[in-house]
Structure 1
Amino acid sequence: MPEASPATASKPKSAPQKAMEKMGLLRDIDLALHLPLRYEDETRITPIAQAEEGETVQCEGLVTESRIELRGRRQLLVRIADDSGESLLLRFLHFYPSHQKTLGVGQRLRVRGELRGGFFGREMVHPSFRAVDEDTPLAQSLTPVYPSSASLPQAYLRKAVAAGLRRASLEELLPPGSVPPQLPPLREALNFLHHPPPQARLNTLEDHSHPAWQRLKFEELLAQQLSQLQAQRERARLKAPALRAARGGLHEKLLAALPFGLTAAQQRVGEEIAQDLARPQPMHRLLQGDVGAGKTVVAALAAAVAIDAGWQCALMAPTEILAEQHFRKLVGWLEPLGLTVAWLTGSVKGKARQKMLDAAASGEAQLVIGTHAVIEDKVRFRKLGLAIIDEQHRFGVAQRLALRKKLASQALEPHLLMMSATPIPRTLAMTYFADLDVSTIDELPPGRTPIVTKVFADGKRGNVIQKIVDEVAKGAQVYWVCPLIEESETLDLKNATETHAELSLALPGRMVGLLHGRMPPGEKAAAMSLFSGGQMSVLVATTVIEVGVDVPNASLMVIEHAERFGLSQLHQLRGRVGRGAVASVCVLLYTGPLSPTGKDRLRAMAETNDGFEIARRDLDIRGPGEFMGSRQSGAELLRFADLQEDAPLLQAARRLAPLLLDRHPQAARAQVERWLGGKAEFLKA
């Protein structure tokens, strides 16, 4: 076969090109919207004599001395002088042979860096520099510094962004009068943000309050609102089976068989879900409630409605432990009523797996419970009418979409109920989940005792272990949570195996178990069974127990290196105790010194047990993008806007979105494509 000619052969991509692709800088508009982190002022020269220590300045002068010195380590020392009569030492600890020529005596240099005091006078360590002549012009605007990576130099990225900004289609898409009057045109705003004039007020650029920033935020919020409204309208045109609860049917039989009564909040959200299921449009509802609020029984009642109407239900959970927890509860509630429940996870193999697959495909299994194995290609349902996804934020968007496509009849969509024990503040729910109906269980079942949370430095570890010994002697059960399984060379953290050995020594004659993500499923199940049954006194575990573990007798939890955990994760872990009538305690052990964020997190945990208040503080600490990052499986929907600070812009975007869709549908589609590209597909999940 003849070789490809140089003209037709595809050139291998350079490291910077690969880095840009990895950062999602694929289109001209992506480059235009890749905004600077900060700016450097290269528009003025500061005479060396007037430069002050601690300032970052740009100076220019002739090289009067250039030498390599071997003082401790090999370094290049260069001295420049200017007309002010002062000189400045440039110190390079890393350099190439070519630098000696560029930085040779007699060369005119323009250098920029932080001025420091040194033994040999004032100096800059590793300044940026370039050779110039007396006529080399100064920059006319501030120099942007972009988010980048090690293999993507700023100079390369600046050229790429400038080219993308020139080529990008930035015409005004919105009809006259629809943009708030104080905001500049989009191209003008972007040109300003990439190349602000020297007199620009840096504080308004850094805190994103400048009108140019406000225009971008408005555009982004509008695209986000439009995409969600489009998804909502598209969903309203879809058809789903109308699943109505029959009088005296399975739903009522389950209610009568439950060993407890529903709370008012459970009854309310149950009715909301039942009304959705009865409609011929697919339900798209988020059921949220604090840890232990009783979401599982509400899901079971929804499943009963679907099954009673002759359809199947699938329940997907992120971990085998959580899936098994659901399986045990639902089997206990539903099998006595004559229902068949199938169990499908990665650990179910061979003939047992095939039996479950056949039961789902034939319709014999009215309810299928499992992990992500439920959405594998080989899994078929005869009539899937309701899909329930627990801890929905733990699943990627593609996984949620795959579950929705399991209905054999493409003319119909299954109803979708998503559950989350990570409460979402109302502002976020209204914005990120504008295409969802949200039901909230805002009260806990009766009999739950408040959890007391105590915060101790790691120096009190011995006292905490003694407390465990005392509590175990009284018949209590204890969780000890560690963030790592094995030793790490980079993090000075106690690991789970070490702690297990330590507690085993402190509790001779008592069973101390170990549970972590790398254990085979059988060993995990055995450990949980012993702890649930009361034979095991202490369970040392990683965050594999974060959700789904329900042992009412466990009344003490220790979370080691609590400063390493996120606030919502700490709250989820704490929710593993306080599930019975016994007073429960959660001990947060931290290793100092704590960062301000770490202090805020631990203070919030000590001050409140309310999951919604925890979520509000988490939003304050982390900001909306990070808080909701998993909504898009790692890709944030909002890069620039802040839902709290930019509430007026959000309201304006929310008002404009339906008008734009109704009267200017082409402009609306172009706006979504410009800002979201393929991410708009995520909103369908």
Structure 2
Amino acid sequence: MTKLADIKGITKPVLSGLHKLGIHDVQGLLLHMPLRYVDETHISEVRELRMGEQAQVEGEIIHLEVSYKPRKSLIARLSDGTGDIFLRFLNFYPSQIAALKEGTRVRALGEVRHGYFGYEMVHPQTRAVRETTAVKQTLTPVYPTTAGLSQPSIRKWVTWALNNGDVSETLPKETYAKQTPSFQASLQYLHNPPPEANLQAMENRSNLEWRRLAFDELISQQLSMRQHYAKRRELGAPVLKLSTNLIPQLLSTLPFGLTGAQQRVVKEISQDLSRPYPMQRLLQGDVGSGKTIVAMLAALQAIENGYQAAIMAPTEILAEQHYQKMLHWLAPLDIQVAWLSGSQGKKDRTASLAAIASGDARLAIGTHALFQAQVQFNQLGLVVVDEQHRFGVEQRLSLRQKGQSDEVSAPHQLMMSATPIPRTLSMSYFADLDVSVIDELPPGRTPIATKLVSDARRDEIVERVRAACSQGAQAYWVCPLIEESEVLQLQTALDTFEHLQQTFPDLRVGLVHGRMKSAEKQSVMAEFSAGDIQLLVATTVIEVGVDVPNASLMVIEHAERMGLSQLHQLRGRVGRGAAKSACILIYQTPLSETARARLKIIYESSDGFEIAQADLHLRGPGEFLGIRQSGTPMLKIADLERDADLLEQAQAVADELLKRHPVEAQKHLDRWLSRGDELVKV
């Protein structure tokens, strides 16, 4: 693969700009696709122009002046013999004044508007021409770029790549339908579209050439995922036989039974653990569906077979809650549990590390502290990662590697997510995992009434909170920021806490946020859980896992600024007891279209999968999964919603290619994943 640095003529500034765009070789140039196109293939006469149309005109500058009415601007008057049009520049430089001097022949491209003196173009694209200068024969591509890298420069090097790069086919002919254009023809068409090309189809990426490249990209992603899946199957793992002792003992002491969905996923996980290769399973379940007990049963299967289990959570509040809950469950079974967090005192930390290293602690629970270098397990058989998308790829990998005694074995891994993953996303970014879904809530979960309330009606909300707490219930009041931001002007947790303390002198108001010391947070949460605090003011640190059955009211400030999944998670902190529960979303006007759409969805639906699908549509897969910086390669051409039909085809094609055409499959992978993104999913 030819690196850009090896190409004669590419200057250091251009090379730096291309690297910023993620382009490192000739294939990267070929697959750097236009955002949109400009039509410079036709020159319109001024007398033909229509308001609001994009047009290109050519003529002589007959007058140039700097005007101060209605504001300072450079105005050039262009005449083509059929009429005059004004070119207006609000921001301009001396070089532009020189380029537009009277008598210069200019070609201008822009949107026709009605100006002070007649038709005008504001900030048109201009260039000096001669009468013999040819008109472009193809539509002009406009590429994604970065500071210091011009469009002409990108076009120059993309054209070079088209003429010098490898544009041969990588896959067998039968991979594609008969009417599908070749890889080379698709690239030529998309980088240099003919004048008659359907601009709308080009920009919607719905024409055959776009779909050919989207299909190729999806095939490469599926091949990559399949390879990772196969590589894991080649590793060894502890064979953890089905539990006949600990799991039945625990289930007999629980005050609840497992739902049908929980029983189904427990069986799937248990079967995986009994196989001689590492389980790599994603457990999905909506808020409150009971993933924690499923993880506990998996841990017991490992423990009964003489191995240790580790459960890692993204926040100390969630990890602490897991620890307390599991400590309570395991007390009758006489199983030692170790707790490990970044804020532990030295004495407690040393004791936990010793218990984990010796194997006395059969279960270790903690935050990211679990994968630090000084943590040594005696015999780690199972790793459970809660809210897995909140950890980076390297973090998940380092915890798993703690259980690898050599390069050919690994512990089993269970990843959990309370954010349901839409089907297309699961097929794409989690295609290398086995997936279990808890699609049933435990009995007794009360429906949560969701209310949208303008900030102007704050007094009504305050009275609602007073009434709920005076009747023995508890409430959350969630704020998105800790300190005041001059830019966002958001109500802060600190100010809200002080205000609500004054507003409710008869109530005990607590405060918890991410910058508090761990011991402080745990103390406040313990008091809230015990009912000693009636109203808890919090940041989104309580988003995941907090379980206080007596809390039946949730108030969320500035709901318009939060993502759908986050709102759904926060709402799930109530409705865990028998009392009727409500979630009040306070919003500020005016609302943007996106914010209005988010609030409408969260108001109308309580289905986590439906909300997740809408969130994917609004935010895109990178933001949804939290993987923009995690090492997972994002799709550049294909779109999971638009190209869902191609994704299903790519899945089938990838399986067939690996069986029958492994050499071609690898060649295809080399083309599309040439950036060295090996940490696809671990």
1:403, distance to aligned residue in structure 2 (A): 1.6
Find 1:299's aligned residue among 295, 298, 313.
Answer: 295
Find 1:459's aligned residue among 456, 459, 464.
Answer: 456
Distance in 2 separating the partners of 1:342 and 1:19: 49
Correspondences of 1:584-595 after superposition (within 5 Å) = 584-595=581-592
* Structure 2 alignment gaps of length 5 or more: 1-8
Find 1:333's aligned residue among 329, 332, 338.
Answer: 329
1:229, distance to aligned residue in structure 2 (A): 1.4
Distance in 2 separating the partners of 1:201 and 1:599: 33
1:430 aligns with 2:427: yes
Most deviating of 589-598 and 323-332: 589-598
1:356 aligns with 2:352: yes
Find 1:377's aligned residue among 364, 370, 373.
Answer: 373
Task: Write the letter of the residue equivalent to 1:215.
Answer: R
Find 1:176's aligned residue among 167, 173, 178.
Answer: 173
Quote the residue 2:306 is aligned against. 310
Cα distance change of structure 1 residues 598 and 403 upon mapping to structure 2, 3 Å threshold: same
TM-score under structure 1 length normalisation: 0.94
Correspondences of 1:525-674 after superposition (within 5 Å) = 525-622=522-619, 624=621, 626-628=623-625, 630=627, 633=630, 635=632, 637-674=634-671
Find 2:41's aligned residue among 43, 47, 51.
Answer: 43
Correspondences of 1:234-249 after superposition (within 5 Å) = 234-247=231-244, 249=245
Find 1:344's aligned residue among 340, 346, 362.
Answer: 340
Distance in 2 separating the partners of 1:297 and 1:607: 30
Most deviating of 31-40 and 73-82: 73-82
Most deviating of 46-55 and 544-553: 46-55
Secondary structure of the structure 2 residue equivalent to 1:677: coil
1:29 aligns with 2:51: no
Distance in 1 separating the partners of 2:364 and 2:676: 30
> What's the CA shift string for 1:66-86, capped at 9, x where partnerless?
2234457543222221121x2
Quote the residue 2:160 is aligned against. 163
Most deviating of 602-611 and 368-377: 602-611
Distance in 2 separating the partners of 1:325 and 1:13: 56
1:636, distance to aligned residue in structure 2 (A): 5.0
- 8 Å CA contact 2:284, 2:416 repeated in 1: yes
1:15, distance to aligned residue in structure 2 (A): 5.5
1:582, distance to aligned residue in structure 2 (A): 1.0
Distance in 2 separating the partners of 1:167 and 1:339: 66
Cα distance change of structure 1 residues 22 and 517 upon mapping to structure 2, 3 Å threshold: farther
Find 2:680's aligned residue among 670, 679, 683.
Answer: 683
Secondary structure of the structure 2 residue equivalent to 1:683: coil
- 8 Å CA contact 1:393, 1:631 repeated in 2: no
- 8 Å CA contact 2:79, 2:85 repeated in 1: yes
Secondary structure of the structure 2 residue equivalent to 1:177: helix
Distance in 1 separating the partners of 2:108 and 2:586: 48
1:111 aligns with 2:86: no
Distance in 2 separating the partners of 1:678 and 1:150: 22
1:680, distance to aligned residue in structure 2 (A): 5.2
- 8 Å CA contact 2:632, 2:681 repeated in 1: no
- 8 Å CA contact 1:672, 1:680 repeated in 2: no
Most deviating of 252-261 and 363-372: 252-261
> What's the CA shift string for 1:226-259, capped at 9, x where partnerless?
1111112212111101011342x22222222223
Distance in 1 separating the partners of 2:117 and 2:54: 19
Cα distance change of structure 1 residues 14 and 71 upon mapping to structure 2, 3 Å threshold: farther
Distance in 1 separating the partners of 2:32 and 2:121: 30
Distance in 2 separating the partners of 1:16 and 1:377: 41
- 8 Å CA contact 1:67, 1:78 repeated in 2: yes
Secondary structure of the structure 2 residue equivalent to 1:79: strand
- Identity among equivalent positions (%) equals 53
Secondary structure of the structure 2 residue equivalent to 1:471: helix
- 8 Å CA contact 2:632, 2:680 repeated in 1: no
1:625, distance to aligned residue in structure 2 (A): 5.6
- 8 Å CA contact 1:625, 1:638 repeated in 2: no
Cα distance change of structure 1 residues 218 and 12 upon mapping to structure 2, 3 Å threshold: closer
1:202, distance to aligned residue in structure 2 (A): 0.9
Secondary structure of the structure 1 residue equivalent to 2:602: helix
Distance in 1 separating the partners of 2:511 and 2:657: 57
1:53, distance to aligned residue in structure 2 (A): 2.2
Distance in 1 separating the partners of 2:11 and 2:538: 45
Distance in 2 separating the partners of 1:673 and 1:459: 57
Quote the residue 2:4 is aligned against. none
Most deviating of 95-104 and 625-634: 625-634
- 8 Å CA contact 1:482, 1:561 repeated in 2: yes
Secondary structure of the structure 2 residue equivalent to 1:45: coil
1:395 aligns with 2:391: yes
Cα distance change of structure 1 residues 54 and 26 upon mapping to structure 2, 3 Å threshold: same
Secondary structure of the structure 1 residue equivalent to 2:66: strand
Secondary structure of the structure 2 residue equivalent to 1:293: coil
Quote the residue 1:280 is aligned against. 276
Cα distance change of structure 1 residues 165 and 359 upon mapping to structure 2, 3 Å threshold: farther
Task: Write the letter of the residue equivalent to 2:414.
Answer: L
Quote the residue 1:522 is aligned against. 519
Find 1:56's aligned residue among 40, 54, 57.
Answer: 54
1:670, distance to aligned residue in structure 2 (A): 1.6
Quote the residue 1:125 is aligned against. 122
Secondary structure of the structure 1 residue equivalent to 2:679: helix
1:483, distance to aligned residue in structure 2 (A): 1.7
> What's the CA shift string for 1:48-78, capped at 9, x where partnerless?
2221222221111111122234457543222
Distance in 2 separating the partners of 1:253 and 1:317: 26
Quote the residue 2:316 is aligned against. 320
Quote the residue 1:3 is aligned against. none
Most deviating of 565-574 and 509-518: 509-518
1:138 aligns with 2:129: no
Distance in 2 separating the partners of 1:330 and 1:170: 57
Distance in 2 separating the partners of 1:402 and 1:361: 17
- 8 Å CA contact 1:477, 1:537 repeated in 2: yes
Distance in 1 separating the partners of 2:316 and 2:261: 28
Distance in 2 separating the partners of 1:141 and 1:527: 66
1:286, distance to aligned residue in structure 2 (A): 0.9
- 8 Å CA contact 1:383, 1:408 repeated in 2: no
Cα distance change of structure 1 residues 683 and 97 upon mapping to structure 2, 3 Å threshold: closer
Quote the residue 2:3 is aligned against. none
Quote the residue 1:449 is aligned against. 446
Distance in 1 separating the partners of 2:237 and 2:159: 49
Distance in 1 separating the partners of 2:360 and 2:125: 71
Distance in 1 separating the partners of 2:658 and 2:43: 52
Correspondences of 1:188-199 after superposition (within 5 Å) = 188-199=185-196
Quote the residue 1:468 is aligned against. 465
1:14, distance to aligned residue in structure 2 (A): 5.4
Secondary structure of the structure 2 residue equivalent to 1:630: coil
| Count of residues paired in the alignment | 673
Task: Write the letter of the residue equivalent to 2:47.
Answer: A
TM-score under structure 2 length normalisation: 0.94
Secondary structure of the structure 1 residue equivalent to 2:64: strand
1:436, distance to aligned residue in structure 2 (A): 1.4
